[in-house]
C-alpha cells in the first residue's frame, strides 16, 4: 500500500570523519583546555546512573559553561561524526545517560542558575544544569510552586527532567514535566541553537518545537534553558489512608473524589496487600486498621484555601463509608500522622537494600490496571512459584509499579522476568515505561508498546534532526 519512503534504516552513527585526538584538540581550542576532561580527570559521577549499570569511562567529558559552548562542541562533534552523550544529574533509572568508551559525554553541570522569575507571567527561566530542588526553592521564595517533584530532587537537573519527561509526585494534579514547560532552548546535533523561550500559554506559530525534545532522551538535541510555568502554592493539605474492597472500588473512589474536589486531589496511591503488609513490616509501623483488606489507598487532598480545615474531605470519606464505597479510613490529624502514613508507601526507599529488586514502571489504561495485576500475579506464581512480588502505583496517572524480589526465586535471570512481565502488557495496550523512559535498558522492549509504523516515524525524525546519528546513540532505538 505504501512505498515505505519513511522507513529509514536502523539508527546508527556515521563512521568518524576525524580521529578522536583531532576532535579533542578542536574541542579544547573552542571550549578551553579545562572544559575537556579525559582519563582520571573524569569523576566517578560520569560513569553510570542510579541503576549502577555498566559503569564506563567515556573518551572525554565536556563541561561547557554556556549555550554557545554547547553549540560549538556539537558543531565540532557533528563534523567529526563523533557520538555525544548528554549528562545531567545521573539519577536516571534506564541507563539513558551512560556513555560508551568511545563516546564523549557532555555534562550540563556548569549551566546553572535561575535567570529570571517573572511573577506577573508566572514563569521561571532556568538553565538546564540547575537542580530541581534549586528551582523549586526559587519558585517558593517568589510565592509560587513548581509543580514537578521527585525523590531525586536534590541531584537531578532540570535539563534531564525535561529530556526524560519526568513524572514524580504531582502528576495527578499538574501533569508531567512536559506540562510545566512554556519555552525551551535546545542545541541541535549540528550546533544550531533553537531558542524558543516564550512565556506564553497560547502560541500557535508553526510546529511547537519544545514538544519534539521533551521526552526524547537526548537523542534529538541538548536542552540548555527552559521557561517553566509557576503555579500558586496550595495552602492546606490533608492525608487519609483508606481500606477498599478491591480495584473497582478504588477507581470508583477516585472518580467520586475527583468529582467533588477536582485536581485538589494531589495523590491517589494504591497499594495491594503484598506491598502494604511488607511496607508495614519494613517501617515497623502499626497498621491503623483491624484485620486486612483487599486494597489500600493513600490519598492527599491539597486545597488553595488556607482556611480549609479538612472537614469537606473528611465528610466525603464519611459519606463513602456510609454508602459502602470504602471499608475503612483514617485521616491524619497532624503532620506527624501524615508522615507515618506516607512512610508505608515510601518504604520503597528500602527496596535496594532489602531486596534483589526487579523493578517495573509500566502504564495501562486506568480501567484495566486491576485486571493486569491479577493476571500478572497469577502468571508470576505459575512461572516462578514462591516469588515475592509487590504491586503499587499512582493509578490516577495510569501508572503501576511492580517489584519482584530476585532473592525469592534464587538463580532467576532478571532479564527473563523483565521479558515475561513486559510481554503481558501488549494485549492490554500498556506501556513498558510510564515515567522512567527507555534509555538503554528497555530498548529491546520498546516494540511491545510501539508499532513498526511508529518506530519508522521516530527514525525518520531522528534522521532529519541528527543526520550523522551523533546524539546519544544506542539509546531509545
Residues 410 to 469 in contact with a second copy, rule: CB under 8 A: 429-438, 446, 449-451, 453-458, 460-461, 463-465, 467
**Residues in 80-119 at the binding interface with a second copy, rule: CB under 8 A:** 118-119
Q: Which is nearer to a second copy, 421 or 434 (CB)?
A: 434
**Site for a second copy (CB under 8 A): which residue of 27, 47, 75, 222?**
75
Backbone angle region of 244, left / alpha / beta, with phi > 0 → left and psi within -120 to 50 → alpha? beta
DSSP 252-286: HHHHHHHHHHGGGEEEEEEE-HHHHHHHHHHHT--
Q: Which is nearer to a second copy, 55 or 304 (CB)?
A: 304
Query: Is 215 one of the binding residues for a second copy (CB under 8 A)?
Result: yes
In whole angstroms, the minimum distance from the beta carbon of 363 to a second copy comes to: 4
User: 146 with 230: CB under 8 angstroms?
Assistant: yes
Q: Which is nearer to a second copy, 285 or 457 (CB)?
A: 457
Query: Is 44 one of the binding residues for a second copy (CB under 8 A)?
Result: no
**Site for a second copy (CB under 8 A): which residue of 164, 169, 239, 348?**
164
> Cell 532478571 appears where?
414
Query: Is 407 one of the binding residues for a second copy (CB under 8 A)?
Result: no
**Residues in 345-374 at the binding interface with a second copy, rule: CB under 8 A:** 363-367
Angstrom distance (rounded) from CA 187 to CA 217: 14
DSSP 163-220: HTT---TTHHHH--GGGGEEEEEEE-TTS-EEEE----S---SSS-THHHHTTSTTSS
Q: Measure Cα distances from 231 to 129, 137, 143, 237 in Å.
A: 22, 13, 9, 16
- In the chain, % helix, strand, coil (3-state, to 5) comes to 40, 20, 40
**Helix boundaries (H) for 284-358:** 311-322, 335-345, 351-354
Q: Which is nearer to a second copy, 325 or 461 (CB)?
A: 461
User: 437 with 216: CB under 8 angstroms?
Assistant: no
Query: Is 249 one of the binding residues for a second copy (CB under 8 A)?
Result: no
Query: Is 9 one of the binding residues for a second copy (CB under 8 A)?
Result: no
Q: Which is nearer to a second copy, 29 or 41 (CB)?
A: 29
Q: Which stretch binds a second copy (CB under 8 A): 130-138, 153-161, 230-238, 403-411?
A: 230-238
String of contacts with a second copy for each residue 292-311, x by CB under 8 A: ------------xx------
> Please, what sign has the CA dihedral across residues 341, 344, 349, 350?
positive
Query: Is 317 one of the binding residues for a second copy (CB under 8 A)?
Result: no
Query: Is 140 one of the binding residues for a second copy (CB under 8 A)?
Result: no
**Site for a second copy (CB under 8 A): which residue of 112, 149, 191, 294?**
191
Q: Which is nearer to a second copy, 279 or 396 (CB)?
A: 396
Q: Which is nearer to a second copy, 48 or 165 (CB)?
A: 165
Positions of E strands within 395-465: 399-405
Amino acid at each position: 500500500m505504501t512505498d515505505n519512503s519513511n522507513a529509514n534504516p536502523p539508527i546508527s552513527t556515521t563512521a568518524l570523519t576525524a580521529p578522536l585526538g583531532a576532535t579533542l584538540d578542536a574541542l579544547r581550542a573552542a571550549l578551553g583546555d579545562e572544559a575537556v576532561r579525559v582519563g582520571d580527570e573524569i569523576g566517578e559521577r560520569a560513569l553510570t546512573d542510579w541503576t549502577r549499570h555498566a559503569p564506563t569511562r567515556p573518551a572525554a567529558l565536556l563541561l561547557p559553561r554556556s549555550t554557545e559552548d554547547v553549540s560549538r562542541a556539537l558543531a565540532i562533534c557533528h563534523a567529526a561524526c563523533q557520538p555525544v552523550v548528554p549528562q545531567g544529574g545521573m539519577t536516571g533509572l534506564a541507563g539513558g545517560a551512560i556513555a560508551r568508551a568511545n563516546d564523549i559525554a557532555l555534562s550540563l553541570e556548569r549551566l546553572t542558575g535561575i535567570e529570571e522569575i517573572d511573577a506577573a507571567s508566572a514563569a521561571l527561566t532556568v538553565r538546564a544544569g540547575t537542580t530541581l530542588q534549586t528551582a523549586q526553592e526559587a519558585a517558593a521564595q517568589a510565592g509560587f510552586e513548581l509543580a514537578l517533584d521527585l525523590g531525586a530532587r536534590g541531584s537531578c537537573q532540570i535539563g534531564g527532567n525535561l529530556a526524560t519527561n519526568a513524572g514524580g509526585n504531582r502528576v495527578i494534579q499538574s501533569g508531567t514535566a512536559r506540562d510545566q514547560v512554556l519555552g525551551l532552548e535546545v542545541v541541535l546535533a549540528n550546533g544550531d541553537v533553537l531558542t524558543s523561550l516564550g512565556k506564553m500559554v497560547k502560541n500557535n506559530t508553526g510546529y511547537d518545537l519544545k514538544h519534539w525534545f521533551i521526552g526524547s532522551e537526548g537523542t534529538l538535541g541538548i536542552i540548555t534553558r527552559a521557561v517553566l510555568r509557576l503555579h500558586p502554592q496550595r495552602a492546606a493539605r490533608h492525608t487519609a489512608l483508606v481500606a477498599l474492597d478491591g480495584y473497582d472500588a478504588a477507581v470508583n473512589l477516585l472518580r467520586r473524589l475527583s468529582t467533588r474536589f477536582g485536581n485538589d486531589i494531589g495523590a491517589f496511591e494504591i497499594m495491594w496487600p503484598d506491598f502494604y503488609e511488607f511496607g508495614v513490616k519494613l517501617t515497623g509501623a502499626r497498621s491503623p486498621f483491624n484485620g486486612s483488606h483487599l486494597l489500600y489507598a493513600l490519598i492527599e487532598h491539597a486545597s488553595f484555601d488556607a482556611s480549609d480545615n479538612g472537614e469537606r474531605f473528611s465528610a466525603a470519606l464519611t459519606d463513602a463509608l456510609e454508602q459502602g464505597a470504602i471499608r475503612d479510613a483514617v485521616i491524619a490529624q497532624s503532620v506527624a500522622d501524615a508522615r507515618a502514613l506516607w512512610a508505608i508507601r515510601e518504604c520503597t526507599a528500602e527496596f535496594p537494600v532489602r531486596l534483589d529488586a526487579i523493578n517495573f514502571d509500566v502504564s495501562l489504561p486506568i480501567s484495566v490496571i486491576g485486571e493486569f495485576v491479577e493476571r500478572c500475579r497469577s502468571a508470576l506464581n505459575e512461572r516462578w512459584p514462591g516469588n515475592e512480588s509487590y504491586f503499587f502505583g499512582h493509578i490516577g496517572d495510569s501508572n503501576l509499579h511492580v517489584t519482584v524480589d530476585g532473592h525469592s526465586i534464587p538463580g532467576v535471570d532478571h532479564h527473563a522476568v523483565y521479558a515475561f512481565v513486559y510481554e503481558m502488557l501488549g494485549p492490554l495496550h500498556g506501556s513498558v515505561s510510564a515515567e522512567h523512559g527507555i534509555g538503554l535498558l528497555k530498548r529491546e522492549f520498546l516494540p511491545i508498546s510501539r508499532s513498526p509504523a511508529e518506530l519508522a516515524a521516530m527514525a525518520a525524525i531522528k534522521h532529519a534532526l541528527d543526520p550523522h546519528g551523533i546524539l546519544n546513540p544506542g539509546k531509545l532505538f
